[in-house]
Amino acid sequence: MRNSRLIILILCMFLPLTHSVARADHFVYKSATEYDYPPFSVTEGGVADGFSVELLKAVAEEAGISLSFKIDRWSTIKQELEEGKLDVLPLVGYTEERDKYFDFSVPYIVMHGNIFVRKEDTGISSEEDLPGKEIIVMEGDNAQEYAIRIGLGEHLISVDTYEEAFRLLSEGRYDAVLAQGLVGARLIDMLGIRNVEAVTKLDNDGITEITENLSGFEQKFCFAVKEGNHELLSKLNEGLAIVSANGRYSDIYEKWFPYLLNNKPTFEEIAVNVLMITLPILFIILFASLVYVRNKVKKKTIELEKANREILSMEGYLRNQQKLEAIGVLASGVAHEINNPVNGIMNYCQLILEAVDKDSEIAEYARESIHETTRVSKIVKNLLQFSRDEQTRYEKVTIYQMLSQILSLIQAIIQKDQIELTIDIPEDLPEIYCHDQQIQQVLMNLITNARDSVNKKYLSSPGAKKMKLSAESYEHSGGTWVRIMVEDNGTGIDDSVRDRIFDPFFTTKGRHEGMGLGLSISYGIIREHGGDLRFETIEGGGIRFIAELPVKTDGKGIEKAQME
């Protein structure tokens, strides 16, 4: 009982799969059944019916596929399936020969072949008596293949239907019919034949007479499709799984085999057959899905790790740059402030030295002071020199390339934050003569500020975040200029703080979020390049920062501008 529940549970896993197939499939598959092969195939009144036909119809319905049926001779429909003129046959006994040109569903019933003879003595009481006898079989049936296989081909009489075979036998023509036991018994009954019976033997108990089953003529009945039609076959197997699980198979079986109920294959037997086919498929699907999901997760993890590293390195870079800039500003300010007093102290020390006895204790203190002050002076001068060196590293820069470089750095962040970034940068912008690193620093500041602003405003609706990076060249005061714009649809800047935005250490961000140096340093850098940095409010909210830089075609121009 527990087992059946488990099997039902596993089988039910196929239901959603099957129903999705059902919805998508409007194709009508062609099927056919042979003239009477009762109770598997019954064609009374020209309507295809019988156990196998009804089972196939039920399976098709559960699997969501449509079928049409025709009725014809077995050898014809078998041929047509082989040629692909038919899609599926409901009742095909499995054999190795047939497996070469058909694909078989799981077997849904297993039956045995019997020898039928007239009741009068025909000299046939077992399989061993068959050689040399005239035996009737249906053309193309398993019985024919079996008879040929065991060397009875020479005296074999093939007819189109078993009905014909049993009539001939009954009329005294030929010696025996080889047929599937159940079919033979049903036909004898249906045709009202009284003088034909199945060959029997004594059971192991030595008393009971039982029908002699032909060794090697065991028929596993399956649905068959043309070799290679895996799609239809898997639907049929799924359908079989469902009718086994939902009780339809039992109902159909009871309808067509009322006298065989005790021999009815158990639900477990059918289910095990079905599972033998479907479980490996299920495992393959599960395994493939797992591998797919694992690869996807792995790929995403690598992408995220990369994005994370880029963000960290960029933010770290930005923070370090800001710190360095801050230290630079501070250091050069301090250096300027200290330089004069240090020089003054040195002069005073010189005066003291001249005014006192050279061997006195005071002279000694003065000399020591001069020595120490010289050290300080040297440090200050180095600092000033350092600042000047930094400012003189100018080079020709292609704005398009520089912006592309920045974009490759920020792409990961923009994607991570789900910001819609519009880029409008013409490739043919003129080269500018500038401090590459510093201009990059400015643009990074503007872009990260814009990003912070949209992130802050659209915390709960990431789809609304928008940024735009654009650039253009234009003529102004007799020279060419480049304008770079960074805009966002973020928080905007409150009127009350507009005048303080470029002040050093002004920030509206929380502790550890902003140092308030980015814009002041950026402003300084752009001004040093002879340009301008400003911002304007965008209609509908948000801010546009505009950096304007003169294009200087040679180094002298910029050096001149700096000296002024």
Sites of contact with ligand ADP (CB under 6 A): 445, 449-450, 453, 488, 490-493, 501, 506-509, 514-520, 543
Taking the least distance from each CB to ligand ADP, the nearer of 284 and 327 is 327
CB of 485 to ligand ADP, least distance (A): 12
CB of 456 to ligand ADP, least distance (A): 8
Taking the least distance from each CB to ligand ADP, the nearer of 75 and 491 is 491
Question: Cβ(143)–Cβ(180) under 8 Å?
Answer: yes
CB of 558 to ligand ADP, least distance (A): 25
Structure tokens at 357: 């006895």
Structure tokens at 73: 């001779």
Other Cβ atoms within 10 Å of 185 Cβ, number: 20
- Using CB atoms within 10 A of its CB, is residue 282 exposed (0-12), middle (13-18) or buried (19+)? middle
- Write a three-state SS string for 285-342: HHHHHHHHHHHHHHHHHHHHHHHHHHHHHHHHHHHHHHHHHHHHHHHHHHHHHHHHHH
CB of 514 to ligand ADP, least distance (A): 2
**Dist. CA 245–CA 5, nearest whole Å:** 9
CB of 561 to ligand ADP, least distance (A): 25
Taking the least distance from each CB to ligand ADP, the nearer of 366 and 447 is 447
E strand segments, 419-542:
420-424, 431-434, 466-476, 479-488, 532-537
Taking the least distance from each CB to ligand ADP, the nearer of 306 and 527 is 527
Taking the least distance from each CB to ligand ADP, the nearer of 71 and 493 is 493
CB of 327 to ligand ADP, least distance (A): 16
* DSSP 3-state percent helix, strand, coil across the chain (nearest 5): 55, 20, 25
CB of 539 to ligand ADP, least distance (A): 15
Structure tokens at 12: 């039910």
Structure tokens at 120: 């009068």
**Dist. CA 401–CA 440, nearest whole Å:** 11
Taking the least distance from each CB to ligand ADP, the nearer of 92 and 484 is 484
Question: Cβ(486)–Cβ(290) under 8 Å?
Answer: no
Phi-psi group of 107: left, alpha or beta (phi > 0 → left; psi -120 to 50 → alpha; rest → beta): beta
Taking the least distance from each CB to ligand ADP, the nearer of 194 and 511 is 511
Taking the least distance from each CB to ligand ADP, the nearer of 245 and 421 is 421
CB of 545 to ligand ADP, least distance (A): 6
